[in-house]
Amino acid sequence: MTTDLWRLGAAETAALIRARGASAVEVTRSALARLDAVNPAINAVVQFMPDQALAAAAAVDKALARGEDPGPLAGVPVTIKTNVDQAGFATSNGLRLQKDLVAQHDSPVVANLKRAGAVVIGRTNTPAFSLRWFTRNSLHGATKNPRNAALTPGGSSGGAAAALAAGIGALAHGTDIGGSVRYPAYACGLHGLRPSLGRVPAVNLSGPDRLIGAQLMAVSGPLARSIADLRLGFAAMAQHDARDPWWSPGVLGGQPKRAALCVRPEGLATAPEVEAALRATAVALQDAGWTIVETAIPPLREPARLQALLWLAETRRGQNAAIVKEADPDASFVYAQMERLCPAPDFGGFQDALQARIRFCREWSVFLARYPVAIMPVSAEPPFADQLDVQSPEDFDRVMEAQLTQVGLPLMGLPGLTVATAWGAAPMGVQLVGARLREDVLLDAAATIEAAFGSPDIAL
């Protein structure tokens, strides 16, 4: 049996195991060997579970031997981000303060992946408080981009993206409140899906419930090296769990092949490399029968401001003292810059932000009824130099401006999908945005784009 089973994608792995071409234990041993071989150079996986992984794989093999269906992800090796609960492991979120916060129960997304037959092989790094588009913390250190160590691996799911790009696992779990799935996928030359609000159930019973801003904007989603794998991982993650009252089933149905192209949302200074990728993507879709209209899109700047206001309201109320106590230099600097850019509202201002949200939701809903897919930058710039945001206040402001589409989108609870169009030392990609609960439309469009550009390879 080949020792390169770790190279296979999720769909290929599950099919091979079901056909008895390889056992789940063999696949898991190969994945763990790959982790051991490449993780020391990139520090993407920071919590390890070889015994539990092999036991889960053995359970998949036993289920198949009994003639049972172990699930659509039978034996597929996956990683989980350290900011969601996994029973028996600390929900550290990159914090020394939480290094001993051991979860007693799996979060819904972890439970769903396990029920689908996935084998968790490790937990991935995140910046302290999952706060940045870069990945470094005082507990586990920095994660490196396996495609180019000079570039950020992205954040906050930087460990997830770096691991997947390096061939550690066939799928990766990430979370996204301001681009934390979409941007790491972009920086590491991968595909990544931020689902709609409520589409993937979520709760961490190891801590108190999130405040309303995060409830409305934070989601879990998959990263993958192919759109087929992204679709498979999303379907597994999105199963119902009664512990999340926000959960919603998906919507299916035909949609016209019509997309809006916006290269410079609200005057964004989009770099030439990014514009070239956007226009090439539009041509690929047009060649496949799509109608492409270059047009302005609904607002993102004011939604981005309101998103920050609502998110910081949670931090100011509950996490400010923790940020001071944790004393992580990066988190402290970033939080100070966010406070500088977003003054604290009074109660009326907070209420006004929630009221304004529905107007922006309405505007985007009407727009996406006309154009089921909006094509826009993931970022105005190619992936940033690593740690750029903490070099100076001016560099922080540059990063924030470039990330307009990352921050603005979550306010409306809309899905966004990063599609890689180039990988290697200079990753590049585009972002597709769709109507709420219409991830199917985004995945269909992404599959067409992938057919034109190819699927990301494995780094290292």
Q: How many CA within 13 A on the CB side of residue 161?
A: 40
Which residue blocks in 116-181 are alpha helix, DSSP H?
158-165
The H or E element that residue 291 is part of is strand 291-294
Q: Which of these is catalytic: 23, 30, 81, 220?
A: 81
Q: Are 124 and 163 in contact (CB under 8 A)?
A: yes
Q: Which of these is catalytic: 23, 30, 130, 156?
A: 156
**Token pair listed for 165:** 């790009």
Nearest in space to 353 (alpha carbons), one of 322, 396, 310: 310
Q: Are 180 and 193 in contact (CB under 8 A)?
A: no
Residue 226 annotated as catalytic: no
CB atoms closer than 10 angstroms to residue 373:
26
Nearest in space to 150 (alpha carbons), one of 134, 168, 132: 134
Strands (E), 125-281: 136-137, 141-142, 171-176, 191-194, 219-224, 258-261
Q: Are 24 and 57 in contact (CB under 8 A)?
A: yes
Q: Which of these is catalytic: 23, 30, 157, 180?
A: 180
| 260 three-class SS | strand
The β-bridge partners of 137 are: 141
Residue 248 annotated as catalytic: no
Residue 144 annotated as catalytic: no
| 275 three-class SS | helix
Residues marked active site are found at 81, 156, 180
